[in-house]
Structure 1
Amino acid sequence: MRHYEIVFIVHPDQSEQVTGMIDRYRQLVERDGGNIHRCEDWGRRQLAYPIAKIHKAHYVLLNIEVEQHTLAELESGFRFNDAVLRSLTIRRNRAETGNSKIYEEALREQQKKLEREQRQKMELESRRKELEQAHASKSKAETAVKAADAEESEPSKPAAEASSEATADQEPDSAGGSESAVVEDPAEKAAEESLEEPAGAAEPGQADDSVPEDADDPEKTEKERPAEGSAPDEAATDEAETETD
């Protein structure tokens, strides 16, 4: 058996079939007692030159140890497979088992990609937690505000009820007061009483007050009497003088 290194390029639209193709080639090599010392999937890479207007393709590397007829059958499968754009077979002196430089670079890229995805995932998780915490704190604040508003509104409710009750109590009182004012108005009552009393009637106190004060003074009465009696004498004298003339 001889050692060979094979590189074949798969159409980018058939990248999903690469795993199945590798499994078939592995079975073909191992069927006649051959060995696969190295199998590397390099993924999609830029082509050195366009092939059928294609700029990228899927690369696969195989280091095998097989008989000549097995190699011929393998190369025939490459030629008649439309998914394989190109293939290259190189004879090697010994088995190559270590990773190639291209594969190591691909592994580093994959590792970076995984780390980037994990970092993004962690950032998203931290943002989600921050949003949840902010939402929780906001909910607590709203609950506290509602509780404070409820506590403030509770004392005001009894006060409002008391004021409404006082207003309701005052309304009947005011109505009753107005009725009593209408019934017990002193002016109206006096007018009614004056209408009921006979005209010209005077109270006993008023009759005593109408007596002249001079009646109680005898000296003043005696002095005023001659004056009253002289008045007729003067009148008679005037009449006599008139007749004489």
Structure 2
Amino acid sequence: MNNYELTLILNPDLSTKFDDFQTKFEKTLSDINFKINKLENIGRRQLAYSILNHNKGHYAIFQIEGPSESAIELESKLKYDTSVIRHLLLKVDSPSLEDSLLLIESREAKKAPQEEEQSQEKPKVNPAEQNEVTEPVAKEESKDGE
């Protein structure tokens, strides 16, 4: 049994229906003797360049295990699947248990707007209102000599 990392870029319209795609794809993998070790649903991201008139794509990374004969069959199935814009199947020495950089990056991107909203909700104090200090006013002396 070989370990593989499968990266899929899916049609961005599938973002709302990813669960349906996932169950269908997991069945396809099990039919050709693959076992899924890990799934990372990255989500919708901007593409570096337009692919098939799509500027965005839904990313998913699978850590899978199976025989090399099945990898060839998987490649051909992915090639003709209309919901898959691009795919990359890499043979790896051992499955990675750590989160991918894409997943970490997408989590940070989701946290950033939430942190901005929280900082904007805090009332801002005007520095002029905060430092109201009454300074003594100097008295004017008359030149009369009195």
What's the TM-score, normalizing by structure 1? 0.43
**Which has the larger strand fraction?**
2
- State the one-letter code of the partner of 1:112: A
**In 1: Cα distance, 2:19 partner to 2:120 partner:** 29
1:45 aligns with 45
Match of 2:58, SS state, is: strand
Does residue 19 (structure 1) correspond to residue 19 (structure 2)? The answer is: yes
Q: C-alpha displacement at 1:109, in angstroms? A: 2.1
2:60 aligns with 60
- State the one-letter code of the partner of 2:62: L
- Listed as ranges, the gaps of 5+ residues in structure 2 are 124-146
Match of 1:98, SS state, is: coil
Q: C-alpha displacement at 1:85, in angstroms? A: 1.0
**In 2: Cα distance, 1:99 partner to 1:37 partner:** 13
Q: C-alpha displacement at 1:33, in angstroms? A: 5.8
- Number of positions where the alignment pairs a residue of Structure 1 with one of Structure 2: 123
The 8 Å contact of residues 10 and 18 in structure 1, kept in 2 or not, is answered as no
The 8 Å contact of residues 3 and 92 in structure 2, kept in 1 or not, is answered as yes
The 1:113–1:67 alpha-carbon spacing in structure 2 relative to 1, beyond 3 Å, is: farther
1:218 aligns with none
The 8 Å contact of residues 5 and 92 in structure 1, kept in 2 or not, is answered as yes
Match of 2:60, SS state, is: strand
Q: C-alpha displacement at 1:62, in angstroms? A: 1.0
The 8 Å contact of residues 37 and 63 in structure 1, kept in 2 or not, is answered as yes
1:177-192 superposed matches below 5 A: none
- State the one-letter code of the partner of 1:38: K
The higher radius of gyration belongs to 1
Root-mean-square deviation (CA, aligned residues, Å) is 2.8
Q: C-alpha displacement at 1:6, in angstroms? A: 0.9
**Which has the larger helix fraction?**
1
Post-superposition Cα deviations, 1:97-133, rounded to whole Å, max 9, x if no partner, equal 110111111112223345567788999xxxxxxxxxx
Match of 2:16, SS state, is: helix
1:2 aligns with 2
Match of 2:74, SS state, is: helix
Post-superposition Cα deviations, 1:114-159, rounded to whole Å, max 9, x if no partner, equal 5567788999xxxxxxxxxxxxxxxxxxxxxxxxxxxxxxxxxxxx
The 8 Å contact of residues 33 and 70 in structure 2, kept in 1 or not, is answered as no
1:95-106 superposed matches below 5 A: 95-106=95-106
Larger relative contact order (Cα-Cα within 8 Å, sequence gap ≥ 6): 2
1:112 aligns with 112
1:78 aligns with 78
The 1:84–1:56 alpha-carbon spacing in structure 2 relative to 1, beyond 3 Å, is: same
Q: C-alpha displacement at 1:7, in angstroms? A: 0.9
